[in-house]
Structure 1
Amino acid sequence: MMLDKSKMLEYCNEFSKNTLMQTLNIEYIDAGEGFLVAKMPVNSSVHQPMGLLHGGASVALAESVGSAASHFFINDKEQEVRGIEISANHLRSIREGVVYGTARIIHKGKTLHLWEIKVTDESGNLISLCKLTNMVLTKEKK
């Protein structure tokens, strides 16, 4: 389903309405051959009790951008994507600002996609390093 960059971003931002991505204010901002980037503000709504970015929010950003990116390699009329495994190493903390999730394809098979997602701050410092495996399924006929 490869679209031009502006249509890819519009598509991702449109299907995020009324979802966790909208709740977390995740916005897709850049795309290209084999990658997708989204940003998420860091404020009290995504903090853990010590006032730092919650690891779960970082993982939600990573899974959101990695799953969205898989849509560009499938026929979304006949197929759908499910995240089946995600892992994350949280390497640095952040209290405020913006984090960016950049998903890059590592393996693009017919039924499995493997993504590396780097969550970075505005200065490019690595906050979390994530790996996501997505399964490509045939949509059930209704």
Structure 2
Amino acid sequence: MDLPPLIPFEETFDALYGLEVDEQTEDRVVAHVPVSNRVKQPMGLVHGGVYASIAEAITSMGTARAVYADGMSAQGLSNQTSFLRPILEGTIHATATRRHRGRTTWVWEVDITDDAGRLCAVVRMTIAVRPLPKPETR
């Protein structure tokens, strides 16, 4: 199911840093971000906030895919990112795998790798499942 966006994707923060989703199901989401200077910190490494943002975006998408039709939304509740190796160039690759599907929370694990397939960061995301905001509050 494709979700009708509340805000066009091209106007969102995820579009700003270049998120591109390659695969999306309720159990797995795969995405990538091309590395450019706009996603780096001043020392030339991809900014840690980009890894956390990718993880939150794709796990929220996967959860929303399953709960939106029931009038529910998906929103980040906890983001625990461990940085293992820097990415300096190329492409950031992210694969999210759902580990728990509860009534009010979902838990995902996200592996972030570089072009050589090396593990660069691991993220544990908890997504809250809550009622969609009423139209007047959106």
Give the TM-score of the pair, scaled to structure 2.
0.87
Task: Return 5+ residue gaps in structure 1 as ranges.
Answer: none
CA shift for structure 1 position 46: 0.7
Match of 1:75 in 2: 68
State the SS of the aligned residue for 2:78: strand
Within 5 A, what are the aligned runs for 1:1-142? Answer: 3=1, 16-32=9-25, 34-76=27-69, 78-142=71-135
Query: AA paired with 1:41?
Result: P
CA shift for structure 1 position 139: 2.3
CA shift for structure 1 position 58: 1.0
Flag as ranges the 4+ runs of structure 1 deviating above 4 A: none
Structure-2 separation of matches of 1:29 and 1:96: 20
State the SS of the aligned residue for 1:53: coil
Task: Return 5+ residue gaps in structure 2 as ranges.
Answer: none
C-alpha deviations, 1:84-129, integer Å up to 9, x for none? Answer: 1100000001111101111100000111000101111122111110
Q: Give percent identity, aligned residues only.
A: 29
